Amino acid sequence: MESWPDLIQRAQRCVACRLAEGRHRVVFGAGDPKALLMLVGEAPGQDEDLSGEPFVGRAGELLTNILKAVGLNRADVFITNTVMCRPPKNRPPEPDEQLSCRPFLEAKMAAVDPKMVVLLGAVATKALLEDPHAAITRLRGSRHLRRGRLYYPTYHPAALLRDPEKKRPVWEDFKRIRRDYDRLQAGLEVEPDA
């Protein structure tokens, strides 16, 4: 397996898709490279593109606060996106762009080897549950087992900024995620819903 520093270095040089043309910085991911919990979002936005860090804008601040509210720090988890470069005008990444970045996402998942993966929004949910028709409104709040990992679809923090009515469901999701996190840390099993 490729070393973590080599994977980061290779990612920094990536020009596999057209998103590389407009980027300022590759947004590889941040946090604990051996975390029990990984969070996967859609794509970097403008703030992330400039800083090289995932979830640093308003949605990132909200995510940090959600994590703190359940007793987790950003340093305790690993946060990344389905693609590492900002799509123009913050549009969702196209399927071919996600496909180009997929080997990096899979390599990060293999290296971190999280037991739990929170899917932040529809794009991440469709990509990682491998279902182009997956509806976040239907799947949020559920727990799915894929390749030995538990996946938790929930709304993207940006959706909460647009629609505060989504805050309560996300709070319920993260309380459940924290309970499962504690069970897994204690060596106990967690059963999937689907």
Show Cβ contacts of residue 90 under 8 Å, excluding neighbours closer than 6 positions. 43, 45, 46
To 10 degrees, what angle do helices 95-112 and 4-12 make? 160
Quote the number of domains for the chain. Answer: 1
Contact 82, 122 (CB under 8 A): no
190 lies in some domain: no
| Dist. CA 165–CA 61, nearest whole Å | 18
194 lies in some domain: no
pLDDT of residue 54: 97
| Dist. CA 172–CA 102, nearest whole Å | 30
193 lies in some domain: no
- Coil, helix or strand for 20? helix
Q: What is the CATH number of the domain that holds 26?
A: 3.40.470.10
Instruction: Spell out, as residue ranges, where the chain has pLDDT lower than 70.
Output: 194
Show Cβ contacts of residue 34 under 8 Å, excluding neighbours closer than 6 positions. 112, 113
| Dist. CA 177–CA 186, nearest whole Å | 14
114 lies in some domain: yes
pLDDT of residue 1: 75
90 lies in some domain: yes
33 lies in some domain: yes
27 lies in some domain: yes
Domain that holds residue 86: 4-185
**CA-wise closest residue to 121 among 92, 90, 87:** 92
pLDDT of residue 194: 63
**CA-wise closest residue to 63 among 140, 156, 176, 178:** 156
